[in-house]
Structure 1
Amino acid sequence: MTALPRRTRVAALALTAALGTVLTGCGSDDGSDTPVATDPADSSTTPAETEVDPETGASEDEVTVPVYFVGDTPQGPRLFREFRTVPADNPLEEAAALMAAGDALDPDYRTAYPDGAFASVEYADGGFRVVLPDDTWTTTSGLDSSEEAPLAVQQLVYTLQGVQQERVPVTVLVGDSPVTLFGVDTAAGVQAEPQLDVLGLVSITSPEEGATVSGTFTASGVASSFEATVPWEVRRGDEVVLDGFATAEGWMDKLYPWEAEVDVSDLEPGEYTFVARTDDPSGGAEGAGPHEDTKTITVE
C-alpha cells in the first residue's frame, strides 16, 4: 500500500504496562476506543505520537488499533470490535483492509463487504476521504442483503473513527467525486450511528480469541445489559464448568466496561470457550433474547 502523507498518519496508541498484551490491553474499554492514557469520557481525544515503549517492548513500527467486524445477534447482524496490530506508517489503510477482507481472529466474525478493496484511505481537513477504485461498491450488488448496506457503512465509519480517535465524517469517492457506498449517500459525510443501534450489546476484549490462560485471569469487555449485569461462563463443549457475573459501569444509553476475575486453576488443561452475555431476566419470554460473545481459550 502507498504510504500516506505524514499529516494523515494516526499517532501510535500509547502502550503502557497497564495494557497487558498488545491486542487485549489497548483502549479504555468504555466502548469509545479511547486510549487509557486519556480521559475515558472523551471519545474524541487523539493519542499522542510515541516511540517504542521500553517497558512493553512494543515496536515503533507497529500500532494497535480497533477494527470492527460483523457478528450475529438475536437482533440481526451487528458490529463487534477486535484490537489488531498493524504497521504504524499507515494504520487507517491497514485497518480498513483488515475490515473489508473480514480478516478477523474470531471465526464468529465476518465482514459485510463483498470482494474488493479500497484504493486509498486518508484523514485530512477534519474528515476521512475513502477512495474506491471503481463503482463496484456504490450499489448493494454483492451484499448478502440490501439490509446490510447501512451496517457495511457503519463498519467503515466505526473502524476509521476508532483508529483516528476522532468522531469526524467519512466521505467515499471515486476519483474526486463523492459517491454512495452500497447505496448510502456519503457526499455530506457519514457519522457513527448510536452504539445501541449498530453494536453487539456485549463483547469480550480479553481474553482474545485463542488466548492461553492459567490460574486466575481478568476477563473484560463492554456491554449494555439489564441492570449492568453481565453473566459469564466457561464451557467445555456444551458443559458449563464455571460461571459467574460481572457488573458493568452502566447500561441503557451505550456500552460500558465490565471486568471479572476468572479462576481456572481447578480446570483440567485443554480447550474451553469463554462466554459473556447480556442478562435476560425474562428468560426469553420478552424481546429477542440475550446477546453474547465467545472466545476460544486454552487452559494450561
Structure 2
Amino acid sequence: MRTTPRPVRTLAALAVGVLLTTSACGGDDSATDPVAADRSESPTAAESPSEPAPSDVPSEEPAAAGAVPVYYVGDTGVGPRLFREFRRVSGEPALGAAEMAASGEPADPDYRSLFPGGGGFDTVDHSGGTIAVTLSDETWVERPSGMADAEAELALQALVHTVQGALQSRDPVTVTSPAGATTLFGVETSDGVDNADPFDVLNLVSITAPEQGASVSGTFTASGVASSFEATVPWEVRDGSDAVVARGFATAEGWMDALYPWETEVDVSDLAPGTYTFIAMTDDPSGGEGNPPMFDTKEITVS
C-alpha cells in the first residue's frame, strides 16, 4: 500500500485466487485485519466462485481449507503496516497461510514479506489455548543482519495475525525451533504473543473486493474494512494518467475502536475499456495537518 495513489501499472501476470500447494505457500486476520477483523468477513461466494471463503471472525472451529487471510507488509505515511489478502491454500489452512505470509508472492505488488529466504514452518498446532508454530530449522531464530528490531516485531505480527485468522482464534502464538529455541528473529515468544493493537500495526483501510487484477463492468460492489473519521471511506477510480475518473464514498459500520466493514457500489459503465486503479482511503478532516491518509489500491480491468 502506498501513502498516495499510485499511477496505474501494467498488470502483473499474477493468478489471483489460484490454488496453491502447501509447500509453495505461506499466511490472516481475525480482527478485521486480525485485530480489526473481528467484525469483517471473507470474500463471498460470488467473489470466490470456486469455494466460499471462511469467515474471518474468530470462532471455535478452525477454518476449512480454501481462502484464508494472509498478512503482508506495505508502506504508509506513518511507516510499514500490515495489509491483508485472501489467498487459497491446500492442506492444513493455518500452516499453508503461515507459509504464504513468509514466502509466498503477494497478488498485490505493493505488498511484501519481511521474512528472509531460507527458513520455513513445520507445523501449526492449536490446542490448550495456544497456537504453537514450529520452525523447520534454526534459520529464523535470530534476527538476521540488516533487519531492524521494528521489522522483526512486525514480521512476528504478520505471522500472528495470519495463523489467528486461518484458525479464527485470538489465542496467543508461540514459535519453537527444532533445537528448542523460542524466538523468532530474536523476539521471545515463549509466553505467547498476542495480536497487537490494530492501530499500531494495521493499515487503517483495506480492500477485499475487487481483488488485484479483477475484471469488472457496469456496476460492481467494492468492499473492505476501515477505521476512518466518522466512518467515511472515500474512494476513487483513476485512469492510466492518474486522473480521477470516478469518485464517491462508502460508510463503514463503525470507526475509532477497530476496523469495520464497508461496502459500496461503483459505477464504471461510462468508462472506456482498459486498466484503471480503484483506491479506498481514510478520510482526512485535518486537511493534511494531521497524519497522512492511508490508502489501499487495486488495479482493475474495465471491459
Q: TM-score, normalised by structure 1?
A: 0.81
Distance, in Å, in 1 between the alignment partners of 2:203 and 2:115 is 18
Distance, in Å, in 1 between the alignment partners of 2:179 and 2:108 is 36
Indicate whether 1:74 and 2:77 are aligned. yes
Which residue in the other structure is 1:54 paired with?
none
Amino acid at match of 1:46: E
5 Å matches for 1:122-161?
122-142=125-145, 144-161=147-164
Indicate whether 1:245 and 2:249 are aligned. yes
Indicate whether 1:185 and 2:188 are aligned. yes
Which residue in the other structure is 1:199 paired with?
202
Is the 8 Å Cα contact of residues 22 and 85 (structure 1) preserved in structure 2? no
Distance, in Å, in 2 between the alignment partners of 1:264 and 1:46 is 39
Distance, in Å, in 2 between the alignment partners of 1:268 and 1:2 is 40
Distance, in Å, in 1 between the alignment partners of 2:62 and 2:80 is 31
Distance, in Å, in 1 between the alignment partners of 2:105 and 2:217 is 28
Deviates more, 1:90-99 or 1:156-165: 90-99
Which one of the candidate residues 254, 270, 273 is aligned to 1:269?
273
Deviations 1:133-167 (A, max 9, x none): 33321222145422211111110000000000011
Distance, in Å, in 2 between the alignment partners of 1:18 and 1:150 is 32
Q: What displacement does 1:175 show? A: 2.1
Which residue in the other structure is 1:219 paired with?
222
Deviations 1:115-142 (A, max 9, x none): 1222332323332221223332122214
Distance, in Å, in 1 between the alignment partners of 2:297 and 2:277 is 7
Distance, in Å, in 2 between the alignment partners of 1:271 and 1:208 is 14
Is the 8 Å Cα contact of residues 217 and 263 (structure 1) preserved in structure 2? yes
Q: What displacement does 1:169 show? A: 1.5
Which residue in the other structure is 1:55 paired with?
none
Distance, in Å, in 2 between the alignment partners of 1:118 and 1:100 is 9
Q: Per the alignment, do residues 282 and 293 of structure 1 end up closer, same or farther by CA in structure 2, a change over 3 Å counting? A: same
Which residue in the other structure is 1:90 paired with?
92
Which residue in the other structure is 1:59 paired with?
none
Distance, in Å, in 2 between the alignment partners of 1:194 and 1:117 is 26
Which one of the candidate residues 105, 108, 132 is aligned to 1:106?
108
Which one of the candidate residues 288, 291, 296 is aligned to 2:294?
291
Which residue in the other structure is 2:170 paired with?
167
Amino acid at match of 1:93: L
Q: Secondary structure of the residue that 1:138 maps to in structure 2?
A: coil
Distance, in Å, in 1 between the alignment partners of 2:123 and 2:67 is 20
Amino acid at match of 1:274: F
Query: Percent identity over the alignment?
Result: 57
Distance, in Å, in 2 between the alignment partners of 1:25 and 1:264 is 26
Distance, in Å, in 1 between the alignment partners of 2:148 and 2:181 is 23
Deviations 1:249-279 (A, max 9, x none): 1111110011110000000000000000000
Deviations 1:197-221 (A, max 9, x none): 1110001000000000001000000
Q: What displacement does 1:195 show? A: 1.4
Which runs of 5 or more structure 1 residues have no equivalent in the other structure? 4-14, 35-42, 50-61
Which runs of 5 or more structure 2 residues have no equivalent in the other structure? 1-20, 24-40
Q: TM-score, normalised by structure 2?
A: 0.80
Deviations 1:40-91 (A, max 9, x none): xxx3443676xxxxxxxxxxxx51111111111111111111111111x311
Distance, in Å, in 2 between the alignment partners of 1:86 and 1:215 is 31
Distance, in Å, in 1 between the alignment partners of 2:61 and 2:78 is 33
Distance, in Å, in 1 between the alignment partners of 2:62 and 2:294 is 31
Amino acid at match of 2:85: E
Q: Which has the higher contact order (CA 8 A, sep 6+)?
A: 2
Q: Per the alignment, do residues 273 and 147 of structure 1 end up closer, same or farther by CA in structure 2, a change over 3 Å counting? A: same
Which one of the candidate residues 222, 236, 241 is aligned to 2:239?
236
Q: Per the alignment, do residues 248 and 215 of structure 1 end up closer, same or farther by CA in structure 2, a change over 3 Å counting? A: same
Indicate whether 1:22 and 2:48 are aligned. yes
Amino acid at match of 2:222: A
Number of aligned positions between the proteins:
263
